[in-house]
Every structure is written in C-alpha cells, then in structure tokens.
Structure 1
Amino acid sequence: MTVKPPPPPPSSTATASSSLRHRQYHSLNSISNLHWVSTATTTTRNRCRIEATGNSSASIPTTTATILRRNSDEILLNLLQQRKTEDAWIAYTQSPHLPNPTCLSRLICQLSYQNTPSALTRAQSVVRRLRHERQLHRLDANSLGLLAVAAAKSGDTLYANSILKSMLRSGYLPHVKAWSAVVSRLAASGDDGPKEAVKLFSQVTRTIRRFSEPAMVMNSRPDTAAYNAVLNACANLGWTDKFLQLFDEMPENKCEPDILTYNIMIKLCARTERKDLLVFVLERILEKEIELCMTTLQSLVASYIGFGDLETAEKIVQAMRDERRDLCKILRDANLQESPNENDSEVFEKLLPNMNYPTDHEPPLLQKLFLPNTRMYTTLMKGYMKAGRIKDTVRMLEAMRNQQDSSSHPDHVSYTTVVSALVNVGSMEKARQVLTEMTRSGIQANRVTYNILLKGYCQQLQLANARETIKEMINAGIEPDAVSYNTVIDGSILIDDCAGALEFFNEMRARGIAPTKISYTTLMKAFSVSGQPKLAHDVFNEMEKDPRVKVDLVAWNMLIEAYGRAGMLDPAKDLVEKMRKKGVYPDVATYGSLAHCIALAKKPGEALLLWNEIKERCGLITTEEIKDSRSGSKVPILKPDEGLLDTLADICVRAAFFKKALEIVAFMEELGIAPNKTKYTRIYVEMHSRMFTSKHASRARQDRRIERKRAAEAFKFWLGLPNSYYGSEWRLEGEGGEDDEYAI
C-alpha cells in the first residue's frame, strides 16, 4: 500500500505568521490551558515524518525505554493530580529522563502554589535544567506566570521580572493577574524596583497594542488593579507627567479609577510636596461619588503628619470623633494658612480639575460618618513619636485602652509604636515594660516589635541583651529575619566585634535566611572598620554572585572605603574604574573615600587629579554635558559636600599647593560652606612659615619659585596673615597658566 506524502510546507513567512497567531491564541485563550506551541509543532512534524516513511497499517515499534518513560510520566502525573507535591518532586528527581510537558508544567504550578522558599528553589532548579538543556518550550505560560508571582511574593522581584520579560520576548502574553502582581511588587520594592515596574507595564501594553483582534489579548489587557500598581510606582518615584499619562489611558482600556487610585494620588501629592492639594483629592472622590473608605482618611492623616502638620492631622481625628461630615471645609480652612505650591501645577490641574473651582464653591460633605479606629489613632501616635512627643504617645495608648468601642482598642501596631518611641529615647526598661503589658493584654508581639528592641539594645551597645532577645524570639515561635540579623551585625560593628558580626552573618545563612543587600554591605562595613579590605572584597564578590540582590553604588562605596581606610590607593582607583565600566558613577561618598585614601597614602599629586575630575563633574571646567565615552549616557552632576572639599583643601595646604587650595576654598565659599581658616592657619604656620626665606638660592631656582611664592602670599592674604600680596596682579588662574610646574 502506497502512502501519500504530506503536503508541501508553507513558505517560511507564512509559517512564522501562522505560528505566531497560533501562539497568541493559545497563550490568551485561558490561563489554565496555556502551552508552548513549539511543543505541538514539533509533535506534528514528527508525526508527518512517520506517516511519510512508514506503512499506515504498520505499528510503531515500542522499546523498553519508551515503556519505562511512559510509566514514569504516568506515576508523576498521578502524584501531581493527587496534590502529592512532595512525592511528585521526589519522583521527578529520581526520574532518569526529562518528564513530558504536562508533568513539568504542573510540577512548576504546584511548587509555585506552595509559596515557600524551598518550593521556589525547587521550581527554579527545574527551569535552570530546562534552560540548560534548551527545553524551556516544554513549559506552558500558566506555569511560568505562577512562578513569576511566587518569586515576586518571596521578594525575588528581579527573577520574577526576568521570567515575564523572557515570555514577552518569546511571543507569549502572560495573564493580567500574573504580570500585574509582579508590577505591584516591583513598585513597592526598593532600588530600581519602581522604574522596572513602569518598564514592565509599558512593555506588556506595547505588546498588546500590536494585536488588532481584541479577543486575542482579552486575558492580558490591563485592568484597574494593573493601572493602580503602575500608578503607585509613579507616585513612589514622584513622576507626575507619567502618572498623568497613565491616568488618562485608563478609559481607553475600559478601566475606571477607583478609591485606591485616588489613595495613590494622595501619595503622589505627598511625594511632590503638594500639601495644598490633599483636600482637592478628597473633594474629587466625593464629587465622582466613589465610596470613601477609612484607608483614604488614614492616608490623609499620614500625609499631613509626613508634612510635619500635626495640627491638621489632629483636626481630622477630632472632627471624626465629633461625628462631623464637613471635613473638606476643615481642610480648606487649614489650607488658607499655607502658600500654594506651583510645582507641576499644569499636571495637577488635569488630574484635579476641581482645584480651579471658584472660591465660593461649597465643599462637599462626607457621604457618611466615620469614627476613628485603632489604625487612625495609631497613625496619630506615630505623628507624636515623630515630633518627639513621647508622653503624648504613651497617653494615647492609655486613652485607647479605655475606649468603650473595641474597634479603637490598641493592637500590636499600637504597642509596637510606643515601644519604638521609647527605644528612640533610650528608655529600654520602659520599652520592656510595654512589651510585658502587651503580652498581659493578650496581644502577641511580632517580629517587628522584637526587631525594634534589638535595634535599641544595639544602639545602647548591649549586645548580650540583643542575643538574649533573639533567643526569646525563637522560643516564642517567631523566626528572626534578615532585618533582625542585619541589626545585630551592625551592633557588633559598633563595639568593634568583627568576629561577632561574621558569626551572626553565618548564623543567618545557617537558618536558611537569605542575606539582603544590607546584610552584605553591613558585613563589608565590619571588615572595613577592622582594617581588612581583602575580606570586605570577598564579601563583595559573593554579593555579586547572589542573583537575589543587586550590587549598587552603596556596595561599591563600602568596598572603596575599606581600601581607603587602609590607605591602599591603587586598588581603590581600580575599583572606581570598574564602577564606571559597569555604568555606576562615583558620588560624593566615593570621592570622599578616595580623598581620605590619598591623605593616608601621602600622595598629594593624586589630590590634584581628583580635584580636576570633581571640577568636571561640577561643571567648573566646561559648560558641555559630560558624557560617558562608552555608552554616551549623561553623567550626573556632582554637588560636593564640606567633608570632601575640606579634605582636598587640607591635602593641598599641607603639600604647599596654594593655588589649588585657593581654588577649592573659593568654591566652598560659592557653595555657602565656610572654610575652616583656623585649621589652615595652623597648618601654614607649623609647616610653611619659613618658606621662600632663603637669599642664597640660585637665580634659576628663585625664578622657578616665583609663581609658588605669589600663590603662598595670596593664600596668606586669604588667611589674614602678614603678606606682601597686592591684588591687582593676582588671579586664581595665575599669569603662568599652563607654565605652572604644579598645574595638572
């Protein structure tokens, strides 16, 4: 029997277009049934080859290996269907071959659902194996999306972000619930998290716009929650223009701003120092008939406290206690005492058109009465603590305990706030009493409470009590976290106990707690203070290898400081060069460490080179924008502080580089920094009072000293010492110009 050959394959262009449409459909049709299309395509292609070369009635020979593979996959799938994830993981690790796509995807999903560090590590190991064997196409989009969410929840936002970006590059759109969850976590994280959140949102929405059929992107299109996540990132960054752009885009995607959107707008007003606009956000909420919630009022109180306006915050709470609904009028009256801020006025006029209503416009009333609750009172307590009103903080706690309404009774946050207030003023015994009272009231202290106590003991150099507190936490069933250990590591540094800091760091890792960026930099600080820069460098290298943390400017500066403290100038300079190559630009702290290192190494010529670089970064040498020679990116402008300039001036005075010293002190005066003339006078008198007094030097040598002598006389004039200076012939640039033997 003759078998017909398969039809000829379509053109490469048509195949790519068809494959892309196929992938788009399957990746968006349902989040629970997403599979990489490349797997199906490969299967079809293999089937065609079998049909073309074999007899249609002939059976495909089955080998022993194939039977074993099928049995192994059936066992694994059966365990997964019974939700026996632990047994399934053991079966996967013992399997001699790679399971089929269904088993792999389901295993990743169930490990991600467990949401534990060990489960996440296992899921990541599966992905690494597939990537190594170039078999990532075996995983469906649903499993990868869930893994990204699990990674984000665990704090590994960099890994979560990389998964989603990899999916987008491969032509797959993750479900909106998956990618918006990652955007939300990025927006709330530190470092560049908010910026990465905006980039991820833009990348997803840009990909969505490429599709002409709405049904194909239905499950990936951003919803209000996704917009709120990226708007929160903009608010954290203070990006008003981007906030307005995204806010205006919401109706295009059939998304309406909700109460959370306007709560985020309150944060934006706080970040951009627009206290005068807070009342207009509240009025806008009432005007659009969005149901008000306690979180909004809580955000208003917290914002006024952040502005240092405790009086207005108290007025809000008192108005709620008095059951008043004219809160907008109260806030408008408070605004009369403030001068309006014109920053970003055009943007906010579009966000809050009601801010341009006539002055006689009647402020709206609250939709219903709101009574202060525990959270509201606790926020006010934090305001008292911030203002240093410790007694008022403690009195507020007592008042809350005597409230008849149970919704106003203190909770663990209230007690923790009082503990924090007492710790801040060093009252550790009273803080302990509050903790005891908290336990007596039936409220369990949490990790935050104990971490605050740890901070207090370390600040008081009571490391023995800090160790006992960690043991107390463990006995109470509260596992210490990275913050706990970072605190005691820093405390060990305060008492010059480098070995103790390393012991706590190793104990943290032994307990399975992942070190954070602060953990690494704090341990580097310990080795830096103890004069062991090479050990600090070892920690830095380990930090670079850790995918969970990002080496930033703080880490670089800590390492440079370690070498600077030891006076090892060449390694410090090499590190600065490596920084630049990685796109990280030195800041004031970097230059300060270099200047200190130059002073210790007694190489004043290096100070002149450093001063020239600082002048370039400050724009004193050229008016053109300084650009990086490799990437063409703009180098940030530098604003030196008093410490850096004083160190450089000190080096120059001691080395008799008076012309450069005058440049530096003149720049200090331009910045409003008063140079320490008393110190420089003492240095000059001690080191240079007998300079240029010899009358027996050769004429050639005297000629070479003329410029230096004139600089010295000018510096003496600036100090107010007796001198032979006459101002008409002296300029900072000097007549000698580039002929100055000390010019750089």
Structure 2
Amino acid sequence: MRSSITYSPCLTRSFLNPKSLCSQPQFPNIAPISEPPSSDNPNPNAYCPQEIDSESNFPTKPTTKSEVSISAFFLEPKHADVAAEISQNSVLTQAHVINILLSHKSEPRSALKYFKGVEKKRGFVKSVDSFFVLLHILGGFPPTHKAAQNLLNQWVSGDSCPAPGVLVDHLAECSKRFAFGLNPRLFNYLLNSYVRANRIKDAMLCFDRMIESDITPWVPYMNILLTALVRRNLFNEVREVHNKMVLKGISGDCYTVHVMMRAGLKEGEAEKAAEYFIDAKATGVELDAAAYSIAIQAACVRPDWSLASGLLKEMREMGFVPSEGTYTSVIGACVKQGNIVEALRLKDEMLSCGKPMNLVVATSLMKGYCVQGDLNSALDLFNKIGEFGLSPNKVTYSILIEWCCNNGNMEKANELYTQMKDKGIQPSVFNVNSLIRGFLKSRSLENASQLFDEAIKCGIANVITYNNLLSWFCEEGKVNEAQSVWEKMIRNTVVPNVVSHNNMILGHCREGNMDVANSVFLEMVEKGLKPNVITYSVLMNGYFRKGDTERAFDLFDQMVGANIAPTDFTLNTIINGLCKVGRTSEARDRLKNFVDGGFVPICLTYNSIIHGFVKEGAINSALAVYREMHESGVSPNVVTYTSLIDGFCKSNNIDHALKMRNEMKNKGLELDVIGYSTLIDAFCKRRDMESARELFSELSEVGLAPNTVVYNIMISGFRNLNNMEAALDLHKKMINENVPCDLQTYTTLIDGLLKEGRKCT
C-alpha cells in the first residue's frame, strides 16, 4: 500500500542543482492549498502529445532564454508583481511558494520565473511538492512543454534522486492534491528522461509503476525505451515491455513493429521477427517500406527465399520501391537455397527499377552458378562485371578459386590466384588451402608442395594447410613423407589437432603397422585431445584388416563408453571387418541388430555381406541377402552383380552368372574389368575359348582396357588347349599396348612352349 510522502528527507531537495539532492533537512507537512476542486480523472486526450521529438532532439540543458538573469527579469514591468512577491518574503515557506505558483497557474512562464527566483533566495528549501506543482503548470500549456522536459532531464541526470516508483506515486498524488488532474504527459516525460540519462533500470521501474497506476505510456516514448533496450541486447526486457503494452491495450505503431523485428533479428530469432510482422498485419497496423524491408531481411536470414520473394512482390504492389540492399538480401537467399533462376530474375528486376548492379549480387550469382555445377557461367559473369564498373574483391576471387579447384580446373584457379596478387589483394590461407587441395586432387604434388612452402615462408600456413598434405600422403600410403610434414609442423610451432592425428593413424593402419597407429592414438589422448568417431572407426578398421577382431571390438566398446555415437561408417566398418575374417553370418546378425537400432543399410553394407558369403562359398546365402537388399529398396550396383557373378562362376553355375549379367544390363549397368575377367575366367576353365574371346573383344569395344589379369587368364586358357600361337599373339598384344607382363605371364608361356617342345625366344 502506498503511503503519503509529501516531505520525506529524500523528497526535500534542490532540483535545479542536482548535486545537492538529499542535502536538506526534513520539513513538516503543510496544509492542503485551497483550490477549486477538479476532476480526479480529466480527459486524457487533453494531454495527448501534439509533437514528440526523438530522443536526440531533447536538449540536455535549459535553453538560454530560461536562464535570463533574475535582475533583468525583475526590471520588466509585467513581472514587477513577481519581484515584489519575492522581495516581501524574507522567509519563504513551502506553503507560500506553492500558493504563489498556483496563483500563476494560467501563466506558466511567470510561474517558472518565480520558481527560479525563489530558489536563489537565502533560506529557501526546495521540495518535491513545489517542483511538481511547477511541472504540472508547465505541462498544461504547449508553449512550456519543452521547459517541463528540460527540468526533468536536468534533474534525472543528476547524481541522485528518489526511486522511480516513489516519484511516479508522488507526481500522481500532487496532481490530485492540487487539483491539476492526472497529466500523462509528465509521466511520459519522466520515463523518457530516465532513458536519456542512460538509467535503463530506473526507466523500467518507472514504466512498471505507470502501468500499475493505470497511467498509459505513450507509444513514441515506449518505442524510445524499446530501442534503448534492444541496443543493450536486453531482449527479455524488450519482450516484457512489449507484452505489458499489449495487455494494456497499446498496440503500438509501425515503428514499434520495426523495433520488435530488429530485436528478433539481433537475438538470432528470425522466426520471432516474422511473427511480429504477421501479427502487425493482422491487427491492422499500417506498415511502411522499412517494415517490409526488415521482414524480408528476417525471411532471408532463415533462409526462406519463397517468403522473401513473396514479400518483395507484395511490397512493390503497395507502391514501395525496394532498396538495393533489400534486393541484394533476397538474391543472396535464393542463391543460398539453390534457386539460381529466381536469383537471376530478381537481378533483372533490380536493374529495371534503376538500382545498380553491385558486387555482392554479382558474387552471389557467381557462387550460385558454381553450386549448380555451371562454372563456365560463373566465369563469364566474372569477365563481365567490369561493364558495371565493378572490381572483384577477395570474396569474389576466393569463391571462384575454390570452385575451380573443386572442378579440377587448376590452370584457371592458378590464373585467378596470380591475378588476385597482381591487383594487390592479399590471398588468405583459405585461398592457399583450396589450391593445395586442388593440386593434390589432380595429382600435381610438385605445385602443391611449392605452394605449401610459400605459405610457410609467408607465415600464413595453419594446421589445415599441413593437414591437406598429411591426408594426401597417408591416403597414398606414403607414410614417411607424411611423417616429414608432421615433423615440419612441430618445428614451426603449429599444433597438430584431432584431424592431424587421425591422418597419421590412417596412414599407419593402411601400412598394417597397428603398433605405431596405436602409439599415435595414445599420444593424442595424453595431449588432452579427445578422439572422435573417425579416430575410433579408422583404428577399428585397421585391426579388422589385421584379423584382430577382439581389439577392434574393444575399441568399439571404449568409444560407446565415452558417449561417442557410432556413425554409419563405424557400423559398416564392423560389418565389412567381420566379413573379411570369415564371420559373415555374424555380420548379418549384427546388421539386423543395427537396423533395429535405427541404422539404414546402404549398398556398401549389403555388398560386404554378399561378397563375404561368396568368399565362403555360400552362394545361396549371398542370393538371400541380394533378395533382402531388393526388399529394403536398395538398388544393387556393379560391385553387387560382380560379386554374385563371381560366386556363380566359382560354383560352376555359368548360366546363373550370365542371367545376372543380363539383369545387370537391363538396369543400365555395365560390367567393369573385374566382372569381365570373372566371366572370361569361367569360360576359359570350361575350355570355351570362343565365348571367352567374344567377351575379351567386347571388353575393348565398351571402352575398357584389359589388364594383366585378363591377359593372363586368356593366355592360360589357350595354353590349356595347347594353342600357343594364340597365347603368343596375346603376349605380343600386351607388349604393343604397354600392358605389363608379370611372373605368371612368363611362367604360363614358358610352360606351354616346353610342353610343345619349343624353345623360348
């Protein structure tokens, strides 16, 4: 319950000199001044602001006019009575001052001059009552509204003053006690003064007490408060103020919508920003171009190109002209979501509206082309941007260099890189890393190494730069070279990360050196690096390849115990590993358990099991898995059919093998060299060299080159039929086509010639 606080020690102080607040002694309450009664609830419309300036328009000090010297003021004949009132009272009581102020109730400027005069009088103690009476007088007349604002601004910006809730209560009490009527203008001025003084917490307290007292905050001042809260990232407070406004029946205006949408965007909640826009439209708020622009920005952040494009269209239909920045954002959103067609349409629309092409749009479109796989169009646009008076920047070059590398066009990538440097644009480590990856992918180790050395010399090489080389060397089985890169990284004080260790573990696993791979793993843990699912999966695969399934499963249990969820790669590694060591039935059982746990098998998964059963001679089990594969909706690939053909051939069931081959052709799949070699070998073993020769010829006709294995099978087949002329012809063809002969080639030929009693020449 609120108490009367007419003259508490906190409220009796100097207001025009804030430094002396709370320095005056307590004075007794005075009797109410006798005034004609007035309504306790005056028409609030009488106090609606005619013009409310923005926060920056409020002066922090009283105007020069209000600082006219008191002596000059007294010389004016029309103020002689005020001068007399002051001079005749050597001791001025609060009651007397308030009575005099009230006598000038209809003359606000005279009341202000009187107050300024008496506060300089020796022995006069200022109080909240007299100050608030003056504020009510000034607030009742438009010409002195600014003076009331200035007084409150000056007072609130002082070192100390009563709590906001106390002031709101006392200001309301004074309005009733002295029959002014409740003037919401003064409360809104007070609220704004707190914001101007950067006293946001007090502004919130003032706002809350106004709401509790049923004093309606005005929308412009609410917007100023909301803006101040957004600037300080006080998003919970922003929503709190806005919700209280809505509950109070204050819907806000278009600028309120601006502020709330910007708050949502700044908070990273684009959905909330969109909701404010939708709600504003539903409640009939008249939205302007800026509101649409912010809503479009929110749609682009999500991103939702369809919504953004729709709002842009709606904006134009309402007669608004979207800005260049708005078009740029929507085009960027379209590109991000892969709709290059809409992005190009909007680019044309932007240009037709008289907006110039800008580099951000051009660069976005280049990226869009690249993502769509149309590098040539991206490069064409790059060559044309000069027509718009644009010059490519680092981002433009970076995108094109990266995508040229991704597409294997290293000549163009290097050309752009050189052009970039020639224009004085310093390449980033991102550019260098893209080029190194590209050169390695195109197997140009020399260029990659040269760029790698340049990056180290320039001091821009980072851990990713080193990892590019480590990964390539380890994938290629060149562990010694990878070790050299590792040592160079340590010398140059670049700290290896988890990826670096994973690469080295992979390299040692590929070599079958599991002891060293495990040492790298332990070293990694000792350094405080946390192994990830790739670390465990690579190690498990290494142990499976060595036949050490027990150690592989120990690692799996260790991984799960560390709360690292296995990926599809991990589960496929387990299935493939079991199949490689002859435990295919167990692999199939585990697959069922994995599927029950949510794992979705892919073609690779089924191929591992089919191949495992074929190796074990269990062709019927392999066929069962093949049928299961179909039932699961997974399409077989070349590897699937090759394994089954191999299985049927090994079980001497050539008819089923050919049936599989026909099924494969009907699905648009072609045999690879391994598939052809399997069928050719089957016909050779059946001594059907005519069919074998047909397949051998077909192999070349479809664009495949027979390898050493295929030639050896054919040579062996003819040798078995004692047709050494045909065998020797194949040998000559091998030499002419630069197919290397191995020990088996020569052993077969020598054996055949010796059996015929011919000399080997």
- Whose radius of gyration is greater, 1 or 2? 2
TM-score interval, normalised by the smaller of the two chains = 0.3 to 0.5
Q: Give the TM-score of the pair, scaled to structure 1.
A: 0.47
TM-score by length of 2: 0.47
